[in-house]
Amino acid sequence: MNQLPMVDARGIHKSFGSNEVLKGIDLTVNRGEVLCLLGPSGSGKSTFLRCINHLETISGGRLFVDGELIGFHERDGVLYEMKPTDIAQQRREIGMVFQRFNLFPHLTALENVIEAPMGVKGLSKEQAVSKAREVLASVGLAEKADAYPSQLSGGQQQRVAIARALAMEPKLMLFDEPTSALDPELVGDVLDVMRKLAQSGMTMIVVTHEMGFAREVADQVVFMDQGVVVEAGAPSEVLDNPKNARTQAFLRSVI
């Protein structure tokens, strides 16, 4: 049995010019675990998430997914960035759901979902459609396969975005504040889908402000501020009994 962690981040730094956004992040997520990342706006959570699938290039450190160094080859202790085709190959294994749904407006829900399995994985249309119907059903949208994004609510669009990521059969799912652009009454359906996904054993990293979800679903909660991990542990420790004054102040402001 594979005992390697699914995500192993070691001393991750990321700077944009002179602005150091991540200042040495160490995190481990084991397979089947759900990690919820909390913190104020600008703390580096989304940047860290984008580093995991190399949408952002790290400035220092090492990032491994399932034992594989992400975005780089290492020779004699020196990192060399991979070719775009090799990076794309790694990204196939990592699903990402953004704040905004990023659906193609001119394609139906089904067509949005079959695009990558056909274009990237080389599935036949028949195989891709079969898989798409399966994942749309799993997010409660079987009957919306032929609807265009403009005919769907924000919550339904976000569930199509989740289905689109799942159609690639990733081993890791990243969620960047997936409910923050939604009307409050639409949040529940999206969180239900994510709950089921967690129960199915999917490894997930979720940047979120949904404290109830973090308390219920997370195996570990990490609080970040100003580019560092301030506090990490089980939800019962970090959310109910935070040690750090900065964590305490943040939780008071959001709960």
pTM for this predicted structure? 0.94
Q: What is the mean pLDDT of residues 147-168?
A: 95
Please, what's the b/e burial string for 135-162 (b: 16 or more CB within 10 A of its CB; e: otherwise)? Answer: bbebbbbeebbebbbeebebbbbbbbbb
Instruction: Read off φ and ψ for residue 164, nearest 5 degrees.
Output: -60, -40
Pairing of strands 172-176, 94-97: parallel
CA dist 221 and 200 (Å) reads 19
- Inter-CA distances, 76 with 12, 72, 146, Å: 19, 13, 52
Mean pLDDT of all residues in the chain? 93
Q: What is the mean pLDDT of residues 131-151?
A: 95
Tokens of 100: 């905004």
Q: What is the mean pLDDT of residues 20-48?
A: 95
Neighbouring CB atoms inside 10 A of 128's CB total 22
Cα first-last separation, the chain: 40
Contact 10, 196 (CB under 8 A): no
CA dist 92 and 69 (Å) reads 15
What is the phi-psi region of residue 16: left when phi exceeds 0, alpha when psi lies from -120 to 50, beta otherwise? beta
pLDDT at 101: 84
pLDDT tops 60 at residue 1: no
Element (H, E) at 63: strand 60-65
